[in-house]
Amino acid sequence: VIADLRRERRGATFDIWDLTTAIYGGQEALDMIDKQTRLVMQEPRLQTDDLWWMSRKERYIRACERGELFVKIVRENNIPFEERYPLELLLGEDLFILLHDVMFAPTLMNLADEEQQGWWLQKALNYDILGTYAQTELTHGSNVRGIKTTAEYDENLFEEGGWHIHTPSLEAVKWWPGGLGKSCNCCILMARVIIKGKDYGPHPFFFQVRDWETHASLPGIELRDIGAKLGYNGMDNGAMRISHVNIPRRNMLMKFVIVEKDGAYRKVGDDKMLFGTMTYTRLKISSGAGFNLAKAVTSTIRYSAVRRQFQMQRVVLGADIDNHLDDDEKDALASQDQLKLLVKPSKRTEAQVLDYSSQQFIIFPQLALAFAMHFAGQEAGKAYDAALLEFRASKFDALTEMHVLTSTLKAVSTVLMADGMEQCRKCMGGHGFLNAAGVGPQYLSALPQATYEGDFVVLSIQVGQQLLNAVSSKMMKGKKSNPKTPSLQYIYECDPAKPSLPPKAAELDSLLQNHDFLMAALKSRANYIHFTSAQTFQEEVAAQGKMGAETLDTVKIELMRMTYAHAYVLYSECFPKLFS
């Protein structure tokens, strides 16, 4: 280990293992991750030092090899499905297995009824079938309700009725599903349900796309790889065009919606659960945002600790030597004596880049943010697990809270992650531009997370509307809380008419080290943005004489600011929960 790194590590004022345990969610989780790390380290083919110079074709082949090794490790060590996520991160590469585990299998768990799970779920958990999630189309991504792929019901198909699946236009071609290009043999297909001419909107279907034995595309299904991307090239993102393909009636996932043989359509529970996979996926994306930023921060801090550049402080500048010495002293001055005049004794070697305040100003906030986003993701995961138990018991009170929570964290954390990783790359100077430095390729592979499964603007509109609803409920209806959105309680507790006095200057230093004060400040800022934005919105409604999409569009910038402010409140609230 380089001496500079050793010295920095020894200077820590906290117990490293206590922090490590907190990062990974407790001793039991840390032990599990340590075991999986050892399994990966024992397999030379899972090393990642060859990824940065490979061609796209070679990288995909290596991804397939990694996928095969992943399945082998899972089977040989009987790793339960819920414990596989750390192992996926340890693969060090984005590949088709991730879409299978994050979107395909969870959709079967949460949206398929018991009989349907008996057909497909165990095969999915054992990787006997490989699936992905085909929702996004060439011209419809975030607007899920606008997708055009159709599933028209025909009770005369098969013995129990069936669906006629079709891509009606070029715009409706499924576009972007990871693993669809070459790897997967089935998918969860989102298509518009049409029964006797009535459009019921998008619903999920189990849809086979390739032959189980030969892996050839099935008749009527055209599959393509969509080509090279800026990053994320271990993943074979694909496109699919469907031409008049028939599937059985029971291939529609029917836990929350049932279509009978005669075409009768009925709901079981809340049909918003049909989009529950998006909630879970946003949770997983936001949970990984802090981890991605932490990787970049780690590389940059280590680089900054060993990279030395310039002397920190000069005592006498070279141009001043003529004024500082007489002629005899100049003649006698040796090179070592000149060095002693130029710098203080403790600074006679080049300084660590990490010691410069300008470097700390950029890196340290990213370090803190990585912790904040990581811990927020942990807390969101706990909340989701608790809510999922209620959903499975047909209790849906937590649905709005989960939507607001996961949408906020996904929208904001991924943008902050991408911006932070790029800041870290630039802090490594010219070396940061090398693939071998690691940060650049990691940044490009993480970058699409800011876009897929809902980009910042779209999600901030949804979150902002819920924040506006909370302000309206308090100010116009006099409500003091909403049990369905506990994370918005700070809005109900705010009194916008109460004057807010700044702290005294003499108390400021101690207050800035007080977490309660900092959290109150973030809530105060958020409430100011929420309430002033609500006032602006009401003024627009009054000016236009109605409330609609056009009115909402006039305050989109405010909704984005509200979402950012709310995210920072969520980040701040996770620290006391973690360390209490």
Integer Cα distance of 473 and 484 in angstroms: 13
Tokens (6 digits) for 343: 């710098």
Integer Cα distance of 45 and 403 in angstroms: 39
Q: Is residue 154 a contact partner of residue 117, using CB atoms and an 8 Å limit? A: no
Paired sense of beta strands 186-195 and 174-175, if any: unpaired
* Helices vs strands, H then E, count in the chain: 21, 11
Integer Cα distance of 295 and 374 in angstroms: 12
Question: Is 288 annotated for ligand binding?
Answer: no
Q: How far is CA 342 from CA 131, 255, 350, in A?
A: 66, 76, 12
Integer Cα distance of 176 and 185 in angstroms: 16
Sequence-distant (6+) residues with CB within 8 A of 443 are 231, 296, 418, 421, 422, 425
Query: 482: how many CB neighbours lie within 10 A of its CB?
Result: 18
Q: Which of 453, 540, 550, 558 is catalytic?
A: 453
Calculated CA dihedral for residues 240, 244, 250, 256, nearest 10 degrees = 60
Integer Cα distance of 376 and 370 in angstroms: 10
Residue 259: enclosing H or E segment and its boundaries?
strand 257-259
Integer Cα distance of 56 and 235 in angstroms: 10
Question: Is 298 annotated for ligand binding?
Answer: no
Picking from 293, 462, 484, 460, the residue whose alpha carbon sits closest to that of residue 374 is 293
Residue 266: enclosing H or E segment and its boundaries?
strand 265-267
Query: 495: how many CB neighbours lie within 10 A of its CB?
Result: 9
Integer Cα distance of 203 and 271 in angstroms: 10
Q: How far is CA 236 from CA 2, 94, 179, 180, 520, in A?
A: 39, 10, 5, 7, 46
* Residue 453 annotated among the catalytic residues of the structure: yes
At 134 the three-state DSSP class reads strand
Picking from 23, 64, 91, 45, the residue whose alpha carbon sits closest to that of residue 445 is 91
Q: Which residues does residue 247 pair with via DSSP β-bridges, in sequence order?
A: 163
Q: How far is CA 50 from CA 45, 73, 248, 287, 294, in A?
A: 10, 21, 45, 27, 22
Q: Is residue 376 a contact partner of residue 413, using CB atoms and an 8 Å limit? A: yes
The phi, psi pair for 534, rounded to 5°, reads: -65, -40
Calculated CA dihedral for residues 507, 512, 518, 521, nearest 10 degrees = 50
The number of residues in the chain equals 580
Greatest C-alpha distance within the chain: 110
Q: Is residue 404 a contact partner of residue 562, using CB atoms and an 8 Å limit? A: no
Q: Tell me the binding residues.
A: 136, 178
Q: Tell me the binding residues for FAD.
A: 136, 178
Catalytic residues: 453
